[in-house]
Structure 1
Amino acid sequence: MEVKIGVQHAPREIVLESGDSAEDVERAVADALGGKAQLLSLTDEKGRKVLVPADRLAYVEIGETATRRVGFGPL
């Protein structure tokens, strides 16, 4: 699923493809904003880690899990 992270005072957002569920990403964001963690830590599908300071988060957009279609059928 696609996750977009807006960071304060940064001109561009961070976009990553995460293999985690929407609930796991939401829980990580809630922990960071609730003060349980000082960093929002997410891992993308290739195993790279993205760390954002919790006090710099502007927004987090969690996309739908998209299933990949295979074949020549209609969309």
Structure 2
Amino acid sequence: MFTNSSYSKRFIKMHKKCPNCSQSLEPEPGFYTGAMYVSYAFQVAIIIAVITTTNVLGIDGSLEWYIVWIYGLHSFQ
């Protein structure tokens, strides 16, 4: 997939097509933008779920408490 070895300074340079099967290794236009929006939506949903759950249960957590729970739930994503 990469043109150089992993020990090279130009490690991240990639082939445009697979040398064996000629499949394109470049994503479609807008691929990373779409992935960014989906990831952002998941993160917002997790934050809203944690805050809503703690308010319903009557838990008054500190900022650190929220960060730990959001990070913990985000790791399952």
Q: Is TM-score (shorter-chain normalized) higher than 0.5?
A: no
Q: Which has the higher contact order (CA 8 A, sep 6+)?
A: 1
Higher fraction of helix: 2
Higher fraction of strand: 1
TM-score range, shorter chain: under 0.3
Q: TM-score, normalised by structure 1?
A: 0.26
